[in-house]
Amino acid sequence: MTTELSPIDKAKFVAAKKAVEFVEDGMRVGLGTGSTAAWMVRCLGERVREEGLKIRGVPTSTRTASLAKEMGVEVVSLDAAKWLDVTIDGADEFDAELNLIKGGGGALLQEKIVATASDQMIVITDASKEVDTLGAFPLPVEVIPFGWQTTQALIEETLVSLDVLGRSASLRMNGESPYVTDEGNHILDLHLKRIGDARQTAMILNQMPGVVENGLFIDICDTVVIGYGDGKAQVRDINAGTIEENMLDFVEGENLFADLSD
């Protein structure tokens, strides 16, 4: 039941519930990865079952694909969809210009490909993810396994010349073994603390041999939906320059997310 959720989980629920209102019949929808995005997939599934909503979803990870199928959402590949009407995804951080850090869930490569192949990207989040300057959350960088230690050393050496406060990188682990992405790559988490020039940082990182993609999403997000524990949803549209707020009612007995484990 939503009334039994923690304030942070209620905030995620509210953001997800509000964001799926942007989805219309016949749309091709990018489905993000992570705990907040999983709530969104379940909300979409509810609309599919109760309203007969017909959409095609393009998931950004194998676990999102599995959840979407479980919820009754039709899943297709990006190649089959070709172009998307909207992508809805979470974020680890966002700033006033709606630049993002993503990749905490390990799916940054597919997430960036899908988001940039969309007419619109909507980010769903809670207020704790908003920052004045990106960088407190470790910046994920996907690298190929071959020579990853050399790539790490090159990154750390290059960070000396960038406007960042921290310059260390660590290999993301999954227990005793390196974390492996859906594409078979590793992730280096950069502990930068503060990123003074996110655009420059993203460009330089992607020029390095061994780097596949980084988790800085610059000029990609169009709208952010911020959920609050009291049921308030705030929608910020960077293109229109508008901020809208409304309240969503929690449904007594709601059980959509009782077994959500992501």
Tens-level pLDDT at each residue, the chain (262 residues)? 445 788 899 999 999 999 999 999 999 999 999 999 999 999 999 999 999 999 999 999 999 999 999 999 999 999 999 999 999 999 999 999 999 999 999 999 999 999 999 999 999 999 999 999 999 999 999 999 999 999 999 999 999 999 999 999 999 999 999 999 999 999 999 999 999 999 999 999 999 999 999 999 999 999 999 999 999 999 999 999 999 999 998 654 455 544 443 3
* Active-site residue, from 21, 51, 111, 142: 111
Dist CA 61 CA 43 (whole Å): 18
Q: What is the pLDDT of residue 254?
A: 54
| 104 marked as binding residue | yes
254 catalytically annotated: no
Residues of each domain in the chain carrying CATH 3.30.70.260: 139-212
Residues 102 and 111: beta-carbon distance below 8 Å = yes
Whole-structure pTM value:
0.94
Q: What is the pLDDT of residue 259?
A: 46
Q: What stretches of the chain adopt beta strand conformation (E)? A: 28-31, 56-59, 74-75, 86-89, 93-94, 100-101, 121-126, 139-143, 168-171, 173-174, 177-178, 186-191, 211-214, 216-217, 223-227, 232-237, 242-247
| 175 marked as binding residue | no
Overall CATH class of domain 139-212: alpha beta
| 103 marked as binding residue | yes
Domain 2-127+219-247 matching CATH 3.40.50.300: the answer reads no
Residues of each domain in the chain carrying CATH 3.40.50.1360: 2-127+219-247
| 35 marked as binding residue | yes
